[in-house]
Amino acid sequence: MTHYHSSAHNMREVIQTVRAFAAKELAPYADELDREERLAPGIFKRLGDLGILGLTVNEEFGGAQMGALAVVAVMEELSYACPGTCLSYLAHSLLFVHNLCQNGSEEQLAKYIPRAVSGEIVGGMAMTEPNVGSDAIGMTTRAVKQEDHYLLNGSKMFISNGPIGDVFLVYARTGEGRQDLSTFIVERDFPGFFVGKKLSKMGMRSSPTGELVFTNCKVPLENLVGEEGFAVKHMMKNLDIERVGLAAMSLGIARACLDNSLKYAQERLQFSQHIINFQSVSDKIANMYIGYRAARALIYEAAQVIDEGRRANQEAAAAKVFASEMATKVALDAIQVFGGYGYIREFPVERLMRDAKLLEIGGGTSEILRNIIVKEFTRKNGK
């Protein structure tokens, strides 16, 4: 397993290693994985060997002890090759691994993190429910304490890695107050845990997504993370890095669209000249680059704030809104540059457009994130 340390030199080493891996092991299969709606075989073991499943994890648990900047760089490289694979990687490495490291006990970390970092077990996080999306705190899944365990009842929806995961961080209600939510580590083979249907999606199809159902699911007391009623704090701690990670996926998608469009426009002849010589095409390509660079600056700035140990609520929200909307627009423009070829499945840009759209929805919709940005202003002004 490769080990990294956080310095500029090592950052370059990580990016080069991941870029080479993604180009060889993911990019050539991305269309096939999309078509067949499946994860690349053995991918978590291979990402574990690469040393990137625990980028933010302490070395004692096998991690690389790096920060948000490393996360952002890796997410962009993986998404450039195959966004769906990157989404599953994000659900495992940020929503499960990083989240548990922030909030779990020494015993819990020792039990799960080394195996998660090596890729032996695959993790995910279960927050969203069939009727509860943006209003996460309104969830209805409930955990009731018995003598030596909790009984968990409810269901979770749109869970990345749901169909394949071995262990999940599950949020459930443990009291009557709106904020009385707790975090539990739930293993796939706990009695009363069922994997519901695998969902067929518009994009990100190489990332398995599904429903999880808990019917009197027995969760040992020691699998409560932190204290009862602390889940909202746990969620908040993880949101900034999750959002910059998702935003960085948009960067990978936008850069892939730009590169594809540039190559095509320099080869495609119409009216006896390459279409890049037509201003209507060259303007689109210039705008792709401008959007990509602007989003990149916002994302890296937000990652820097996180690495300095400060809350990046507004910065991360702004980065994700801008980057995700930019990537969807860039992908649509790329299809236009390709013309008829852009609309058929033989060329990657239609897949990239389908993948891009998810990032305006998952991990906080653009609408909610705009609300958050404004709420932060009013909070700061005490209004």
Tell me, letter by letter, the H, E, C secondary structure of 131-181: CECCCHHHCCCEEEECCCEEEEEEEEEEEECCCCCCEEEEEEECCCCCCCE
Q: Are strands 193-198 and 142-145 parallel, antiparallel or unpaired?
A: unpaired
Nearest CA-CA partner of 305 in 295, 296, 294, 316: 316
> Is 175 in contact with 229 (CB distance < 8 Å)?
yes
pLDDT of residue 7: 66
> Is 5 in contact with 65 (CB distance < 8 Å)?
yes
**Going from the N-terminus, what domains does the chain have, and what CATH number goes with each?**
8-122 (1.10.540.10), 125-229 (2.40.110.10), 232-380 (1.20.140.10)
DSSP code for 129: B
Q: Write out residues in the chain with pLDDT < 70, as ranges.
A: 1-8, 383
pLDDT of residue 10: 87
User: How far is Cα 234 from Cα 211, in angstroms, rounded to an integer?
Assistant: 22
SS3 38: coil
pLDDT of residue 354: 98
Catalytic (active-site) positions: 242
DSSP letters spanning 212-253: EEEEEEEEEGGGEESSTT-HHHHHHHHHHHHHHHHHHHHHHH
Maximum CA pair distance of the chain?
80
User: How far is Cα 232 from Cα 246, in angstroms, rounded to an integer?
Assistant: 20
> Is 101 in contact with 60 (CB distance < 8 Å)?
no
User: How far is Cα 162 from Cα 213, in angstroms, rounded to an integer?
Assistant: 10
pLDDT of residue 194: 98
Task: Spell out where the chain has E strands.
Answer: 123-126, 142-145, 149-160, 167-173, 181-187, 193-198, 209-220, 224-225, 269-270, 273-274
- Residue 20 C-alpha from the chain's centroid: 21
> Is 121 in contact with 96 (CB distance < 8 Å)?
no
User: How far is Cα 31 from Cα 343, in angstroms, rounded to an integer?
Assistant: 14
SS3 183: strand
pLDDT of residue 6: 53
pLDDT of residue 382: 76
pLDDT of residue 138: 94
Nearest CA-CA partner of 90 in 13, 197, 265, 82: 82
pLDDT of residue 71: 98
pLDDT of residue 2: 65
CB-based burial, 321-360: b 16+ in 10 Å, e otherwise: bbbbbbbbbbbbbbbebbeeebeeeebbbbbbbbbbbbbb
User: How far is Cα 383 from Cα 369, in angstroms, rounded to an integer?
Assistant: 19
SS3 274: strand
Nearest CA-CA partner of 201 in 96, 365, 357: 357
